[in-house]
């Protein structure tokens, strides 16, 4: 029988849950190096869409019902 598991870092997606937890305690060196290497690129991906864009997406999803 095979055993499967989810790494701790991948299991936490809620930022509020992460606060107060020392994530480095659960990550190995490779994961930390990778995260630090792409941190600036990840920050650049965060955007705040215009209200009009959100409304257009909601209207489109409603039209599919």
Handedness of CA 19, 21, 24, 27 (dihedral sign): negative
Q: What is the pTM of this model?
A: 0.33
pLDDT given at position 51: 92
pLDDT given at position 47: 82
- Model confidence pLDDT, tens digit, residues 5-62: 555 555 555 555 555 556 666 778 888 888 888 888 888 887 888 999 999 999 999 9
Radius of gyration of the chain (CA): 18
pLDDT given at position 59: 94
What are the domain boundaries of the chain? Answer: 8-63
């Amino acid at each position: 029988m095979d055993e499967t598991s989810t790494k701790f870092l991948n299991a936490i997606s809620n930022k509020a849950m992460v606060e107060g937890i020392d994530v480095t305690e659960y990550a190995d060196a490779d994961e930390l190096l990778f995260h630090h290497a792409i941190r600036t690129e990840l920050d650049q991906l965060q955007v705040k869409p215009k209200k009009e864009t959100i409304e257009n997406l909601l209207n489109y999803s409603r039209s599919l019902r």
